[in-house]
Structure 1
Amino acid sequence: MLKAEDQQLRNAGSSIPKLSAQNLDIVYTNSKTGVETKALSDINLQIQEGEFICIVGPSGCGKTTFLNTVAGLLKATRGTLAIDGQKVDGPGRDRSMVFQSASLLPWRNVMNNVLYGLELHNRLSGDSKERAQQFINMVGLKGFENHYPHELSGGMQQRVNLARALAVEPKILLLDEPFAALDAQTREFMQKELLRIWSETKKTSLFITHQIDEAIYLADRVFIFGARPGRVVDVINVDLPRPRDLNVKRNPVFLELVDYVWSIIEAESSKQGFDH
């Protein structure tokens, strides 16, 4: 396995990375006590155009904190974060977030939920429905345009969530454990579907998960965060051919990667005094 520094050099080309973090720290200050807690420490990473990146690590290691910083919802205490070389200093139209909860508006049907992102961006136009239909079709919901959230399964609701995020055509798709609330069978099916959609869009994707096999299955590279304060302790290059079917999870190379990542997370979890 390549260590984090070697992996960064290997993957850093002469072009400007799609996303880069340099010496990034996030420190929370308790407004009542003034006590400071460092959530992220000296994060350095680069993500290239079209990569699918997963981040794993022990509970509380700052994975979602990092994602929220990329989304512009949190500001760095130290260091820089940039998209296409431009500093991130707040939310922007170049990023879309897919949360664990689909958070669909119950009074809107599928079509109007997908259009909602465009509305928020003030980007509704004459061809908006055509664009929304394109992504509804892409996520496999053709024929369900007029259905309401309560008429859809959990997996179908997350498909709408994904279509809504894609419809605004972001530069980077941010996914915060989007399948965590689904049953095991639906989760695996959605993993496969997400890879199919990613292969069509080649959208740069940053995916947070606690599920190691999910990360290995989806990613080009897996960043492993260490125990709080979160930092990059290793970067795994997933040299498994694409497209990937679910049966790749029985491949000895796949299982070796899962065991390796788990060994690191287990060691990091012990530093926090609990098992992951």
Structure 2
Amino acid sequence: MSEVQVQNNYKLSSKNLDVTYVNNKTGAEVTALQNINLDIEEGEFICIVGPSGCGKTTFLNTVAGLIKPSSGSLWLENKQVEGPGQDRAMVFQTPSLFPWRTVMDNVMYGVEIQKRVSAETKKRAQEYINMVGLKGFEHHYPHELSGGMQQRVNLARALTVEPSLLLLDEPFSALDAQTREFMQKELLRIWSETKKTSLFITHQIDEAIYLADRVFVFGARPGRVVDIIDVNIPRPRDLDIKRNPEFLRLMDHIWSIIEKESTKQGFE
């Protein structure tokens, strides 16, 4: 990764970022991401969409420090990303809760592994449990919660470590359609209270438009940014905004880009 210092006022900056790997079966080198250039402002909610296999999750894992770029650079608050760090927290597709831990104990797990357990972090955990709508469930176990409630625990756990950047990898994909819509609205409510800079991966175009300040559209592999869509729909947003003509226009526009890119991968 480049050692050239990047000085700017962005929260996250990616400059000419490439990620390649070797296919274990064929031995061939595969380019997953190519020349990714993007800048994210403090407090922005960014969504990334694109065809299946375009590298959305690969990019998120690179930001998380789980994958090392092959070339280019990635900067978080003017510090080069060289591995995982306490300044980022991930919300995964599945809650990944410990079944033998209560809601409170699961929420506290992040600060436990960071060795930051204190009266202050316990107080903060309770505040986030309240914020995600789980007050009164602190002593319940995961099997006693619905899927949506489990993802609320997952979100509260990520927020409790007070990350500089919140990374969300299709966190609602396993939920039924009704619960998913409700969780989208809840996430916006929580984001409006925390103003946490968020990077959200999704396959759902309407979800991306509803949540985001801007939508980054990735192209077919090798993944690259083919368009950046400003979502100039006022906040706060209720779910009925999805029937708004401007919302539907953005959906059609983004879908046309993804459809065009998908044909490059053979998805007719």
Q: Deviations over 1:90-120 (max 9, x none)?
A: 0000000000000000000000000001101
The reply on whether 1:272 has 2:262 as its aligned counterpart is no
The reply on whether 1:180 has 2:173 as its aligned counterpart is yes
- 1:125 deviation in Å? 1.1
Could you say which residue in structure 1 is the equivalent of 2:215? 222
Q: 2: CA distance between counterparts of 1:15 and 1:195?
A: 28
> For 1:191, which of 172, 180, 184 is the aligned residue?
184
Q: 2: CA distance between counterparts of 1:233 and 1:33?
A: 29
The reply on whether 1:103 has 2:96 as its aligned counterpart is yes
Q: 1: CA distance between counterparts of 2:157 and 2:104?
A: 9
Could you say which residue in structure 1 is the equivalent of 2:205? 212
Aligned to 2:189, the other structure's residue is in SS state helix
Could you say which residue in structure 2 is the equivalent of 1:159? 152
Which runs of structure 1 show a deviation greater than 2 angstroms over 4 or more consecutive aligned residues? 30-34
Output the TM-score relative to the length of structure 1: 0.93
Gaps of 5+ in 1: 1-13
Gaps of 5+ in 2: 1-6
Q: 2: CA distance between counterparts of 1:254 and 1:266?
A: 18
Could you say which residue in structure 2 is the equivalent of 1:68? 61
Q: 2: CA distance between counterparts of 1:15 and 1:116?
A: 34
> For 2:225, which of 232, 247, 252 is the aligned residue?
232
Could you say which residue in structure 2 is the equivalent of 1:85? 78
Q: Deviations over 1:163-201 (max 9, x none)?
A: 000000000000000000000000000000000000000
The residue identity in structure 2 corresponding to 1:229 is P
Q: Deviations over 1:200-236 (max 9, x none)?
A: 0000000000000000000000000000000000000
Q: 1: CA distance between counterparts of 2:89 and 2:196?
A: 11
Q: 1: CA distance between counterparts of 2:137 and 2:106?
A: 12
Aligned to 1:96, the other structure's residue is in SS state strand
- Asked if structure 1 preserves the Cα contact closer than 8 Å seen for 2:17 and 2:35, the reply is yes
Q: 2: CA distance between counterparts of 1:182 and 1:158?
A: 9
| Cα root mean square deviation, aligned | 1.0
Structure 1 stretch displaced more, 72-81 or 24-33: 24-33
The residue identity in structure 2 corresponding to 1:20 is S
The residue identity in structure 2 corresponding to 1:19 is L
Output the TM-score relative to the length of structure 2: 0.96
- 1:34 deviation in Å? 2.9
The residue identity in structure 2 corresponding to 1:198 is W
Q: 2: CA distance between counterparts of 1:31 and 1:240?
A: 45
